[in-house]
């Protein structure tokens, strides 16, 4: 365990905003993590920092989970693979492909660590973590007790889990077990993947082809956090009633929408673009020119600046469409 007093969180989040933190603990060992969560008061848990926006200085203990290790538990056609929370998600995807294990290739290049993946049930290009998730182990903050959660117990939803709602800040995830497959059934239902594979003249795509297509699409639309600070989609795509969607459709016939049970999911990127924000900049914060759902730190932005920019977007989308946007990123203060 390493303790850094008066740390800067700038290099620990992909937004790259300056934020001081009183005490940052970097922890590589489960037993040390158990002790830390028993003795430190209400710690905040940090993984890859890819979905966090710190607002000002953080006067709390921050625990950065750096546990490592990947283990195939039962090698079969559908092996269970147990992965420590501090592993980098995309490296695990590449490891799976190299080991001929399918199921997470559509989730290529998502920034962040494995421990953060279940928090918001990461998803992209037709697949979400819940599709391959078997279970996870977590340590209860306060007691230090080890608890196992099944897929059902995580209560996954669209960018949701029990760890973002009832159990928020109550557990530290230490490992995640996925059920991957050696009998691949690739999912290329997402239009952009099909298009890319067609352009490449690939008729029978392998999991590696799908991964490459996803990487290609992401790189063409989403800014690389190593170059421009960002946290991927800043907002969730709002889910509205079918009747509201029909009403809006009358006014905006080209408005896209995807069925979500008996509701309709509307791309927030479209709403934000229509409200005139795409490519717009205020001070050090911008709305990315290739994907309006992504807010970017154009250099030395403060968390509060990003958040006030986001609030202006929320307000203008609400006024124009009467639709409420909610952040996908977690705000830290
Ligand atoms: N659109 C616009 N303008 C834009 C961006 C999007 O009009 O500037 C419209 C278009 O109609 C487009 C549609 O939105 O067809 C969907 O866009 P895209 O395929 O880029 O997906 P998204 O809904 O904006 C979601 C996820 C992404 C994920 C992609 C692909 C959320 C909040 N975001 O974005 O996830 O990569 O689908 O599956 O659900 C993330 O969570 O950080 C993330 C990047």
pTM given for the model: 0.96
328 given a catalytic annotation: yes
* 77, part of any domain: yes
Q: Which atom of ligand 1 is nearest to the CA of 221?
A: 20
Report pLDDT for 74. 87
- Whether 164 and 260 map to the same domain: the answer is no
233 given a catalytic annotation: yes
pLDDT at 60 over 90: yes
Q: Are 129 and 117 in contact (CB under 8 A)?
A: yes
Q: Are 299 and 284 in contact (CB under 8 A)?
A: yes
pLDDT at 111 over 90: yes
Choice among 159, 161, 181, 218 that is catalytic: 159
* 323, part of any domain: yes
CA–centroid distance, 124 to ligand 1, in Å, is 9
- Whether 139 and 171 map to the same domain: the answer is yes
- Whether 97 and 48 map to the same domain: the answer is no
Length of the chain: 333
Q: Are 316 and 275 in contact (CB under 8 A)?
A: yes
Q: Say which DSSP state 52 is in.
A: E
Q: Which domain holds residue 22?
A: 2-65
Q: Are 171 and 161 in contact (CB under 8 A)?
A: no
Token representation of residue 158: 């669209």
pLDDT tens column, 195-246: 999 999 999 999 999 999 999 999 999 999 999 999 999 999 999 999 999 9
CA–CA–CA angle 207, 106, 265 (5° rounding): 150
| CA gap 25, 1 in Å, rounded | 7
103 exposed, middle or buried (CB, 10 Å; 0-12, 13-18, 19+)?
buried
CA–centroid distance, 285 to ligand 1, in Å, is 20
Residues whose beta carbon lies within 6 Å of some atom of ligand 1: 124-125, 221, 232-233, 236-237, 256, 267, 269-270, 273, 278, 291-293, 328
| CA gap 160, 119 in Å, rounded | 7
pLDDT at 286 over 90: yes
Task: Provide the sign of the torsion angle of the four alpha carbons 150, 156, 160, 166, taken in this order.
Answer: negative
* 187, part of any domain: no
* 217, part of any domain: no
- Whether 61 and 77 map to the same domain: the answer is no
120 exposed, middle or buried (CB, 10 Å; 0-12, 13-18, 19+)?
buried
pLDDT tens column, 32-55: 999 999 999 999 999 999 999 999
Q: Are 139 and 33 in contact (CB under 8 A)?
A: yes
SS3 of residue 22 by DSSP: strand
Here the CATH number for the domain that contains residue 37 is: 3.30.43.10
- Whether 74 and 51 map to the same domain: the answer is no
* 286, part of any domain: yes
């Amino acid at each position: 365990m390493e303790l850094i007093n008066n740390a800067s969180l700038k290099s620990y989040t992909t937004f790259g905003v300056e934020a001081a933190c009183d005490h940052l603990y970097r922890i590589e060992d489960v037993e040390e993590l158990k002790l830390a969560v028993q003795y430190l008061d209400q710690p905040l848990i940090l993984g890859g920092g890819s979905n966090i926006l710190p607002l000002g200085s953080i006067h709390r203990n921050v625990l950065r989970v750096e546990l490592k290790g990947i283990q195939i538990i039962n090698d079969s056609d559908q092996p269970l693979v147990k992965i420590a929370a501090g592993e980098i998600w995309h490296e695990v995807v590449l490891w799976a492909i190299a080991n001929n294990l399918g199921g997470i290739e559509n989730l290529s290049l998502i920034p962040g660590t494995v421990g953060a993946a279940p928090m918001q049930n990461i998803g992209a290009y037709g697949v979400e973590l819940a599709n391959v998730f078997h279970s996870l182990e977590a340590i209860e903050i306060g007691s230090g007790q080890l608890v196992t959660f099944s897929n059902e117990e995580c209560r996954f939803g669209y960018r949701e889990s029990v760890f973002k709602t009832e159990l928020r800040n109550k557990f530290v995830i230490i490992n995640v077990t996925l059920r991957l497959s050696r009998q691949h059934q690739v999912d290329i239902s997402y239009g952009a993947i099909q298009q890319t594979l067609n352009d490449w003249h690939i008729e029978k795509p392998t999991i590696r082809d799908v991964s490459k297509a996803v990487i290609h699409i992401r790189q063409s639309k989403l800014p690389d956090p190593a170059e421009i600070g960002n946290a991927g989609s800043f907002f969730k795509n709002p889910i509205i009633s079918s009747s509201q969607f029909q009403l809006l459709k009358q006014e905006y016939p080209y408005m896209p929408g995807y069925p979500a049970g008996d509701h309709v999911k509307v791309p927030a990127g479209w709403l934000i673009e229509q409200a005139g924000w795409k490519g717009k900049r205020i001070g050090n914060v911008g709305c990315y020119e290739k994907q309006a759902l992504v807010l970017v730190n154009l250099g030395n932005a403060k968390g509060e600046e990003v958040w006030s920019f986001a609030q202006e977007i929320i307000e203008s989308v609400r006024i124009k469409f009467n639709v409420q946007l909610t952040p996908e990123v977690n705000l830290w203060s």
